[in-house]
């Protein structure tokens, strides 16, 4: 995972919720761009949850950013 890939996912317009998958199997849902912060170096990411808990993760240990497809408006 590169910092450029991660920042591009955070900056999508409109924002799309995504899930961070770690190499050790942990997963971190990101429901809103306000729930994630990237360190100035880009190496460390803090993921906040709605209950105010948070996790500090190493970008280099992320294995995947799972971004679900956009839902089409069938009418």
| Residues 43/56, Cβ–Cβ less than 8 Å | no
Cβ atoms of residues 33 and 15 within 8 Å: yes
Beta strands in 1-75 (DSSP E): 18-22, 27-30, 36-38, 44-48, 54-58, 62-66
pLDDT of residue 1: 80
Q: Please name the fold of domain 3-66.
A: SH3 type barrels. (2.30.30)
Each residue's pLDDT tens digit, 1-36: 889 999 999 999 999 999 999 999 999 999 999 999
Q: What is the pTM of this model?
A: 0.88
pLDDT of 57-67, one tens digit each?
Answer: 999 999 999 99
Cβ(62)–Cβ(55) under 8 Å? no
């Amino acid at each position: 995972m590169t910092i450029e890939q991660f920042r591009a996912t955070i900056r999508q317009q409109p924002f799309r919720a995504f899930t961070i998958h770690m190499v050790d199997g942990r997963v971190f849902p990101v429901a809103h761009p306000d729930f994630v912060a990237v360190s100035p170096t880009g190496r460390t990411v803090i993921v906040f949850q709605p209950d105010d808990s948070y996790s500090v993760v190493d970008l280099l240990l992320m294995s995947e950013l799972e971004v679900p497809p956009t839902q089409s408006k069938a009418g």
